[in-house]
Chains A and B, each alone.
Chain A
Amino acid sequence: MDKLIIKYSNKLVSAGLCAEGEPLFGTYDDEVIWNDRRPERESLDTVIRGLNTISVLFANPVEPYRSIINYLAQEALKGKGFVRPDDTETRTFLHDIPVAKSLHAGEIIKSLKKRKGVIIPGRGIVTYGTVSPEQAFIFFSSICFSCYVKFMTDYYYHRKGLFRMSGDADKIYQTAVAAYQKSLSNISDLPSIRAPFQSSEDVIAAIIETGKLTIESRMVDSFFGNISVKYGNKIFISQTGSSMDELSGCIDPCPLDNSTTNAITSSSEFSAHRGVYNLTDKKTILHGHPRYSVIMSMLCDKMDCGNRGSCHLKCSSMRTIDDIPIITGEIGTGPDGISRTLPPAMSGRGAIVFGHGLFVSGREDFSDAFGNLLDIEKTCYNKYIEAVNPSPGFRDRS
């Protein structure tokens, strides 16, 4: 457990979510153990015992997440008491994010009995895990991501005069885009392992390398995404819930004819990947959650559209960002699953799933796939900036 606390504390820092030394982690097997003795520990000790759970994480994120989350939480306290972003991560896993007024143990326990994490404005976020500290890390990271996406989508509508934000929204926006601009400009590496692959070992090495690059370029949320290569009569694909920077030992070789059921532990998007390989001549697929691709997929000015609120399933417009289609679909294989909607949309460079993430493909290896991931995200970022900044046709509320 000690090793896991160190591991996930470091991940929070390397992902740009927390400052070094900030995450306060507690684990509870037969005894409660904390990684720090700061004052908040007293209340959280009651929380971990009260929830009778494996781990609790408390941390205040760095900027711009700190200001974004505080802003949304303060607004939530004026209303229903929770933040509800519209992205897929929230809809599927978080449902909503409660806001507590203090770190008082009773209040935190009350929130965490219902949901996976709670925001305390001005103080930070508390999350927990029932099996591993990894869950606490994931929920923390997902809250940061979902709140970022919600703030930026709200801000778009605010700038278009379709929604009203108050206070420091403009300042927070400026800080956030400046930070993102900087991180985008720092990306320079491309995958070095190129086709033709000589063996399955080459394939696995290429997947591992590209997974790490995807994390380093922060093109995912919570280190998750998925990645595959079609090689011979098999699809080599990352396992479900595997961290993209730790794919060694987490890649399943799955026969295209399903003659073994190895894909039972593969990514939930295995069927979508297989569908793409069956319909196209692509050899690699990479899926991440680059935030401006997600944000742009959710922006639509048809405020009185009958499908509003169900856009992720029912949007009937053929929306694109340049040559990249925006498609509907839920995670997995259900009636509205990405396994059905994605393959027909992947004849080009890639496709964005509404509120979820970006799938890109490569002809032979990951050099073009990863390049597509970065290019599309940069395009989405630039288009967002254009959309929210004053120009003819826009009503500037600032």
Chain B
Amino acid sequence: MPELFGWTGKVLCINLTDKSSAILNPPDIIYREFIGGKGMAGWYLRPHCTKPWDSPEMPLIFFTGPLVDTESPTSGRFTVMSMSPLTGTVGDSSAGGKFGTEMKRAGWDGIIITGRSSSLCGLSVMDGNVEFSDVPHLKKKVISEIFSTQPSKGSTAAVGPAAENGVLFANISFDGHSFASRNGLGLVMAAKGLKYIHIEGSGKTKVFNSEELSAAREDIFRLVAASPVLKGEQGISEYGTGAFYDLIHSRRMMPTENFRKTQFSHAEGMNAWNYKQKYGTEKTGCSGCHILCKKNSNNGEPIPEFDEMSHFSALIGNTEIGKVIEASHICRETGMDPVSAASTIACYMEINNLTCETTDFINILEDISQSRGEGNTLKLGSFKYASLSGNSGYSMSVKGLELPAYDPRGAYGMALAYAVSTRGGCHMRANPVSHEILRKPVATDRFTFSGKARIIKLAEDMYAAADSLTACKFIFFGASLEEYSRVFRAVTGVELYGADLIAAGEKIYYNERVMNYLNGFSSEEDDLPERFFISEGTSGDGLSIPPLNREEFLEARKKYYKVRGLTPDGKPTKEKCDELGLEWIN
């Protein structure tokens, strides 16, 4: 293999059953075609994708990209992937913090974990040294207690009691403030008997051309500085993602009362500015990032992100900021995805005709994390909970993954993106809020499906490439793959340009469609809850929020399938796999 820059050329394989480890050297061609992060993780997941999520052979995969641990802007991210216990689809999350950077410094592009420990264990990786520890004393301990046992150097991934109690939307926490939040990956880790992974590295990633990297970095910094969303005085650098709260409210697309309304009358008193006044907001963020979109309060507690700010207020009808903070704290400490948790509670409240005046949602949240009382069924997520009582229409989810805080009746590209996303109700696969709401790179008409099929497909490919490099999706509110491909060439010495990376993204994304198809997914699951097609949102101020037109939606989805190279019922084809160089189904 030629000398590698950016990549380390090594993947650490851990078997928890026999507590063994091995080194894998991916072929050069796999690095070039799947890049890293999401792409490489998908490549290694594919052979196992039809196994049960809790099979010892099912891998839990952590993968960095070539840009991680270099001067590339916002490159401190990595992907966690397995099959989702919540949805049955490919389950992945892009996470931040410094875990990815430490993994790279330790000399690993990725870590693939298989097997199942007979007793609760912890894993420590220090450069090339791997150690396993029995940790029965950490059983069902909350996140802060686990981290108090870890060294101050390096980085730690851990699961909380929610995962050990079988919550299908349990997350993985990284150092207590970054998360692989969605799809229930924490439950996969718990099923392996793994409580934590500590990683620490002393190496440094090799860069092909440092001078060129600095110049490429300047181009990106210039664009970031010009972006009001990123570095404006009311942007996410100052207010965190909570800066979206006023915007989504003003666009009448804030999911309210389990998506029965799209505007929350108490929003102005619960926006990011109010959090800043009440709690202070110190800037923090991932390794290698200068945007620093995460915010801590004056006492060091993380301020909720936009989706949890919105869902723990508008979605459930809560008007107390203090309770949003409390709910966020519970999710963090017990290890639960706040979006799924809040949405499941909203579903429960609607089915049982409850409000925040008649019930304490904080108690319900704790019950879920402890799997007690109603929490024993609510831990299954909104779709399974609602289906058990014949009320699946009250679950505001796609493929069983609860929708985030953007109502699709206010952005039709978002509606299509939710429906066709490979991991279920996710706005980040195609991130249409960028052009439909934030006007970047240019504004598109948010109330039309016209042109959205290819826009969504191209965006999925672009963000798949970004998650493979890896780079934060937020930076693409300012920069593009034109600038990032220059960074990639400078780091790796591999002559790929923006369009080449998008082509790699297409292959990476199609691989996920294949994995879902192998698990029985087709057009039937690429759909939205019926509510969005029959009920209007909250119109007013001269702005009408009608229900989505079902025929127009289906026509856009049909076009998407064509553009994506799928059959009319959303299934992948051998011809497209051959074209992309992907293995067809055996």
Contact = CB atoms under 8 A, between A and B. Distances in A.
Interface string A262-291: 111111101100100000000000000000
Contacts of A30: 453-454, 559, 562-563
A94 B535 CA distance: 44
Interface string B556-586: 0001001100000000000000000000000
Contacts of B242: 261
A113 B273 contact: no
A288 B242 CA distance: 32
Interface stretch (B178-186, B190-198, B436-444): B436-444
Contacts of B221: 334
Contacts of A115: 482
B562 A261 contact: no
Given A51-B499, A130-B458, A259 B233 contact: no
A103 to B, nearest CB: 18
Contact of A95 (B219, B232, B441, B559): B219
B143 interface: no
Contact of B232 (A27, A53, A135, A271): A271
B377 interface: no
A304 B398 CA distance: 64
B231 A334 contact: yes
Interface in A322-340: 330-334, 337, 339
B494 to A, nearest CB: 14
A258 B273 contact: yes
A271 B244 CA distance: 18
Interface string B438-465: 1111111000001101110010001000
A93 B223 CA distance: 8
A91 interface: yes
Nearest to A263: B234
B497 A114 contact: yes
Interface string A18-57: 0000000001111000000000000000000001111000
A152 to B, nearest CB: 24
Interface residues of B, number: 56
B323 interface: no
Contacts of B458: 52-54, 130
A116 to B, nearest CB: 7
A53 B461 CA distance: 12
B303 to A, nearest CB: 14
Contacts of A132: 435, 442-444, 451
Of residues A93, A242, A261, which shows the largest number of chain B Cβ atoms within 10 Å of its Cβ?
Answer: A261
Interface stretch (B245-253, B314-322, B525-533): B245-253
B368 interface: no
Of residues A115, A130, A240, A330, which shows the largest number of chain B Cβ atoms within 10 Å of its Cβ?
Answer: A130
Interface string A229-241: 0000000000111
A303 interface: no
A334 B235 CA distance: 13
A390 B441 CA distance: 45
Given A114-B498, A264-B234, A130 B441 contact: yes
B228 interface: yes
A14 B226 CA distance: 28
A259 B563 CA distance: 43
B222 interface: yes
Nearest to A115: B482
A131 B441 contact: yes
A330 B225 contact: yes
Interface in A83-137: 91-93, 95, 109, 112-116, 129-132, 134-135
A264 B441 contact: no
Contacts of B219: 95
Given A114-B498, A135-B441, A265-B247, A254 B234 contact: yes
A261 B219 CA distance: 27
Contacts of B438: 264-265
Nearest to B237: A333
Contact of A240 (B228, B271, B455, B480): B228
Contacts of B239: 261
B225 A259 contact: no
Contacts of A54: 451, 454-455, 458
Interface in A320-360: 330-334, 337, 339
A371 to B, nearest CB: 29
Nearest to A50: B499
B243 interface: yes
B429 to A, nearest CB: 16
A358 to B, nearest CB: 18
Contacts of B223: 92-93
Nearest to B273: A259
Of residues A134, A274, A332, which shows the largest number of chain B Cβ atoms within 10 Å of its Cβ?
Answer: A332
B222 A91 contact: yes
Contact of B228 (A138, A264, A330, A334): A264
Contacts of A334: 221-222, 224-225, 231
Contacts of A317: none
Nearest to B242: A261
Given A135-B441, A241-B442, A261 B272 contact: yes
A91 B250 CA distance: 34
Nearest to B453: A29
A162 interface: no
B233 A274 contact: yes
Contacts of B497: 113-114
A114 B563 CA distance: 23
A258 B497 CA distance: 40
A351 B369 CA distance: 59
A244 B574 CA distance: 49
A1 interface: yes
A131 B444 CA distance: 8
A138 B226 CA distance: 17
B145 interface: no
A177 B482 CA distance: 35
B275 to A, nearest CB: 11
A260 interface: yes
B374 interface: no
Contacts of A112: 499
Given A264-B228, A264-B244, A131 B435 contact: yes
Interface string A284-315: 00000000000000000000000000000000
A337 B247 CA distance: 25
Interface in B316-356: none
A263 B232 contact: yes
B500 interface: yes
B268 A260 contact: yes
A29 B563 contact: yes
Contacts of B444: 131-132
Contacts of A265: 228-229, 247, 437-439
A268 B232 contact: yes
Contacts of A331: 222, 225-226
A261 B234 contact: yes
Given A114-B498, A258-B234, A92 B222 contact: yes
A96 B223 CA distance: 15
B55 to A, nearest CB: 37
Nearest to B497: A113
A241 B439 contact: yes
B564 to A, nearest CB: 10
B133 to A, nearest CB: 45
Contacts of B506: 52
A1 B453 CA distance: 12
A52 B502 contact: yes
Closest 5 CB pairs of A and B: A334-B225, A331-B226, A30-B559, A332-B225, A113-B499
13 contacts: A1-B451, A29-B453, A29-B559, A52-B458, A113-B498, A241-B439, A242-B439, A258-B273, A265-B247, A266-B228, A330-B225, A331-B222, A331-B226
Given A93-B223, A260-B246, A265-B247, 5 more contacts: A91-B222, A241-B441, A270-B232, A270-B233, A274-B233
